[in-house]
Amino acid sequence: MELYIHIPFCMRKCRYCDFLSGSYEIEIRKKYTEALINELLFYATKCADEKVDSVFIGGGTPTFLETELMKQILTVVSSRFNLSDNVEYSIECNPGTANQSAMDMYYEMGINRVSIGLQSANEDELQMLGRIHDLKAFLRTFEYARRAGFDNINVDIMTGLPKQTPMKLRNTLNTVTMLRPEHISAYDLIIEPGTQFYDLYNDELTKRQQGEKNLKSLPDEDMELELTRITENFLSSKGYIKYEVSNFARQGFSSRHNIGYWDRVPYIGVGIGAASLFNETRWSNDRDIYSYINRLNKPGSAVALCDDPKIATLKNRLRNEAPWEIDKDIIPESADIKHLSRKAAMEEFFFLGLRKVKGVRRSDFENYFDTTVDAIYGNVIRKLQIEDLLTEKMGVIALTERGMDISNLVFSEFLLD
């Protein structure tokens, strides 16, 4: 099982960001921490027999939360959950939001992996993105993490930025790889509605989708592909292995949390908007921070439940019953709840599993669903092989390089409707 903890606070929202995050005053951060702990305590009891192999604290900017509040959260995780001996325990960090003492505390409390959001090593690109830091702040943050003892560090970078050139991208790649992080995530910029970038670049985005070339700010499709190839070739030359559409790692440092998502490992998400998957059922928390705080902090919520001896009779029921049918104070009736059908689970198996470079095994599908791949997807797979989008070797089906370039189109072929 995996555990995701959402910290929705940040100093300032970046211009491209559509994540569930924002700037809130200290009293809201305190109340949110209390509510989050209540939810953590609830699931710690419900999942008492489940081994937690991965914990990921994301946001927002988790390291923007006051260290004393974060320490309360980490104490609950370490003391109430059944963490495996080799748990991967990650926290996201924006440069400039964690000093040396904070990094020391994270490490001492059991976190063993830091993911630092650089995005670009070019000052003009950082300003254009609306980042709160410069390159020097990133370098200091990276050094703080190493000094604290972290030997598993990820750095996030972005490709396809407005006016990004191959030279600028190579500067970012060179700057990052000189530091020898264990993992690098290289995400293509996606311009989402509701962001400042959408207002700025929506017209150009439409033109790019229509195949127009030589756009004013955004890279056209040919330049996007060139930037992707530069990233892949540069990182490969430095010893980083591509194991997923956007992720590269040195040998032995692939993110188990990432892989768990693509392999559909059961996970619990706590915090506003956090999603969960358990027993082929998905649900999501309320997205409004005030509703979440009011619901979790009222009398009779998780803290009271965990002190009640009757809760012991419930600890195994998560395997057999929808949890919102047990405690509606914890899983709200307004939650986005979806019981996955057999068909939907098959779809997810392929369009999540194919994100991995190593692909998916026929035998895994057939053992899980008790039917053959060909009976469900034979025609689709043959079609995609003819189009040089899929390959198969020794029972393993994977995207080709061309398939990786248009992966979303390939994934859509596995929808059964």
Structural domains of the chain sorted by starting position, each given as residue range(s) with its CATH number in brackets: 2-262 (3.80.30.20), 342-412 (1.10.10.10)
What is d(CA 47, CA 319) in angstroms, rounded to the nearest whole number? 9
Q: pLDDT above 90 covers what percent of the chain? A: 75
Q: Is the predicted pLDDT of residue 305 greater than 50, yes or no?
A: no
SS3 of residue 414 by DSSP: coil
The pLDDT, as a whole number, for residue 316 is 40
Question: What is the per-residue pLDDT across 26-54, written as a single tens digit (0 to 9) for each?
Answer: 999 999 999 999 999 988 888 888 899 99
Q: Is the predicted pLDDT of residue 113 greater than 90, yes or no?
A: yes
Listed in sequence order, the residues at least 6 apart from 326 whose beta carbon sits closer than 8 Å to its beta carbon are 314, 317
What is d(CA 281, CA 340) in angstroms, rounded to the nearest whole number? 6
The pLDDT, as a whole number, for residue 122 is 98
Helices (H), 93-195: 100-108, 123-129, 135-148, 166-178
Q: Is the predicted pLDDT of residue 315 greater than 90, yes or no?
A: no
Q: What are phi and psi of 413, to 5 degrees?
A: -70, -20
Question: What is the per-residue pLDDT across 6-27, written as a single tens digit (0 to 9) for each?
Answer: 999 999 889 899 888 888 999 9
**Beta-bridge partner residues of 187:** 158
Rounded to 10 degrees, the C-alpha dihedral 23/24/30/33 comes to -50
Cα-based distances in Å from 335 to 176, 338, 341: 40, 9, 18
Neighbours of 25 (CB within 10 A): 7
Rg (CA), the chain: 22
Please report which confidence band the pLDDT of residue 101 belongs to, taking 50, 70 and 90 as the band edges.
Answer: very high
Average pLDDT over residues 175-192: 96
The pLDDT, as a whole number, for residue 300 is 54
Please report which confidence band the pLDDT of residue 324 belongs to, taking 50, 70 and 90 as the band edges.
Answer: very low
Mean of all residue pLDDT scores within the chain:
89
Please report which confidence band the pLDDT of residue 325 belongs to, taking 50, 70 and 90 as the band edges.
Answer: very low
Average pLDDT over residues 78-106: 96
What is d(CA 362, CA 119) in angstroms, rounded to the nearest whole number? 37
The pLDDT, as a whole number, for residue 3 is 97
Please report which confidence band the pLDDT of residue 312 belongs to, taking 50, 70 and 90 as the band edges.
Answer: very low
Cα-based distances in Å from 93 to 54, 105, 185, 324: 17, 14, 14, 32
| Reported pTM | 0.88
